Amino acid sequence: MSVYLLRHAESLYNSDHKHDFDCGLTIQGIGQASAIKGLYDLVVVSPLRRALETLTHSDIRGPVETWYEVREIVCSRCDLIEGESFVVESEESILDRVEKFKQKLRQVLESHNKVLVVTHADFIWYLTSSVSQGERYGTWANNGEIVRLDI
């Protein structure tokens, strides 16, 4: 069983930090996405536009499911879908969402051998993190980067 995490390609917010709400990809981001290829038994994608557009512009193949659990950590207005209220997500809430994702993923892995998760940098960081001497450490992924998740 293999699980891969893909951070979405460069978004408008990544480019200028000025865009609110659910912004899409930059021209560079579309180019990054178009270089991503792969065949998967299941592709899980965040409901945020930048993740969905990364998938749309890529050559990633496989059945797609949108999962709320893999959306970005809410710490800025750009992490909101239109109509949502801005409330910074607590670390307790984030860790709870990570655990819910892991449980759902374990169930999926009973019938799928190769899964791709199109998500966000902070979610990947928390998902891969552990605590050592009171400090939390995780894996940082760049735009368009794929990292393997050890389960």
Domains of the chain: 2-149 (3.40.50.1240)
Sign of CA dihedral 144, 1, 139, 103: positive
Round to whole Å and give the CA distance between 55 and 72.
16
Q: CA 6, CA 4: separation in Å to the nearest integer?
A: 7
* 18 vs 44: which has the higher pLDDT: 44
Question: Around 104, how many Cα atoms within 13 Å sit in the side-chain half-sphere?
Answer: 16
pTM for this prediction:
0.93
Write down the pLDDT at residue 20: 67
**Residue 151: predicted pLDDT:** 75
pLDDT tens, 71-119? 998 887 777 787 888 888 899 999 999 999 999 999 999 999 999 999 9
- Compute φ and ψ for 120, nearest 5 degrees: -130, 160
Please report the pLDDT score of residue 18 as a whole number.
66
Q: What is the C-alpha separation between 74 and 128, in angstroms, rounded? A: 18
